[in-house]
Structure 1
């Protein structure tokens, strides 16, 4: 009888450990290939400041797993503190959501093309970031061209380069606004409005907010966008 009870308890324990995250939890797991020693931190923005939700000391094995409560999809950061004392390129940005999110990467190229799966919101986030990076790349190219000594000596050419820079910036803003409008059912929409184009005219941000589904409007970024709109006058 005693052995039967212990076997029953063992089955319950195994089932509990393998059941995965609950409806309001996110499990972030994966592997940092080649990592032998370091500390992984799962972070997010809380009240405008970066806050650590959990951490894990890595020794000899790059596998990791975090489980944290998540009220609604939001941006998280997986930060790797390595023993090389170099904080450059050590933070992966991803859009997490309830469920299981898997992140696989390499220790020496930690934030360069990590494989992220399990989050439909992150797929939209990656799509948005991919196009936005092209605008940023174009902006850098134009700025470098403007700094050419031959161009700097010609005020007409400088004005022409400024016009190209302004046009690229405008196209970037319009892309962000349209992306948010066209993805009303995605949690990426209020995030883009709130963090990428917060200085846009109220009429545009108001259109994005009023276009959101009820569920998205009630999310962390939906409520944040509403708060921003309440402070805007035009």
Structure 2
């Protein structure tokens, strides 16, 4: 009996030690010889490090994390890196692969992994066109202001306002059209959190049951309830 108990304990210990983490991030950073790579996430509105790897000549970088539902993570080279110096990616359970370079750490990043990441990249491509147009309008506004052309300046400012309205509406439509993806509530919380409550409500009501039960689905629902509660007082 003692032998059987010992075998069971050994088996359980072995099983636990070989249990795979929810998320594995395998990264390759061309040109990086020495340094520390950090895997981060938002916890209670604070950016925290969940894993890190010291690189010393080896190109094999593997980081791990627990993961209850699809969530945005960040890959950084410096512990105190700014938002512009972090690679943002949408992770799901399983393996995410990130290939990039030391020289252009964020810009060169190629991410392979979750379906949510593909959806996020689709949205970012859509927004890149709007952002490019916005930069053109800002430049034109600056020139009009420098030349003292108040009429042109007012015209460009109106175009910027219209462009922002277009961004909000396109984000709402994108979220509704991807209501079965955790990207939808994430965009509502990060890109259009100050939109009219009816837009946020529409996105929230369109979410699939699985997405509603996810991290961002729950956060969006709680966020909308807080807004409504404040409006009643």
Shorter-chain TM-score category?
0.7 to 0.9
Please list, as runs of the form range in 1=range in 2, the aligned pairs for 1:123-142 lying within 5 A after superposition: 123-142=118-137
Inter-partner Cα distance in structure 1 for 2:70 and 2:97: 15
Shift of 1:199: 1.2
Tell me how far apart the structure 1 counterparts of residues 165 and 120 of structure 2 sit (CA, whole Å).
Answer: 20
What is the Cα deviation at residue 89 of structure 1? 5.3
CA shift, 1:204, in A, is: 1.4
Deviation (angstroms), 1:191: 0.4
Distance in 2 between the 1:203 and 1:86 partners?
36
| 1:54 is aligned to 2:45 | no
- Alignment partner of 1:40 is 2:44: no
**Is 1:73 aligned with 2:70?**
yes
Q: 1:68 to 1:169 in 2, by over 3 A?
A: same
Asked whether the equivalents of residues 144 and 153 of structure 2 are also in contact (C-alpha less than 8 Å), the reply is no
Q: Structure 2: where are the runs of 5+ without partners?
A: 1-9
Partners of 1:88 and 1:59 in 2: CA distance = 25
Match of 1:230 among 216, 225, 229: 225
- C-alpha separation between the residues in 2 aligned to 1:178 and 1:166? 19
Shift in CA distance, 171/151, structure 1 to aligned 2, threshold 3 Å: farther
Asked if structure 1 preserves the Cα contact closer than 8 Å seen for 2:144 and 2:152, the reply is: no
Superposed displacement of residue 203, structure 1: 1.4
What is the CA–CA distance in structure 2 between the aligned matches of 1:191 and 1:180, rounded to whole Å? 9
Q: Provide the rounded CA distance (Å) in 2 between the counterparts of 1:116 and 1:192.
A: 19
Q: Secondary structure at the match of 1:62?
A: coil
CA shift for structure 1 position 86: 8.7
**Secondary structure at the counterpart of residue 108 of structure 1:** coil
User: What is the TM-score of this pair, normalised by structure 1?
Assistant: 0.85
Q: Which structure 1 residue ranges, 5 or more long, are not aligned?
A: 1-8
3-state SS in 2 of match to 1:105: strand
Deviation of 1:30 after TM superposition, in Å, equals 2.4
After the TM superposition, which segments of 4 or more aligned residues of structure 1 sit over 6 Å from their partners?
85-88
**What is the RMSD computed on CA atoms of the aligned residues?**
2.4
1:74-223 alignment, distance < 5 Å = 74-81=71-78, 90-149=85-144, 152-223=147-218
In structure 2, what is the equivalent of residue 6 of structure 1? none
Question: Aligned equivalents of 2:136 and 2:49: distance in 1?
Answer: 36
| 1:14-33 CA distance string (max 9 Å, x none) | xx76x7x35xx111112112
Once the two structures are TM-superposed, the CA of residue 135 in structure 1 deviates from its matched residue by 1.2
CA contact (8 A) 1:176 1:192 kept: yes
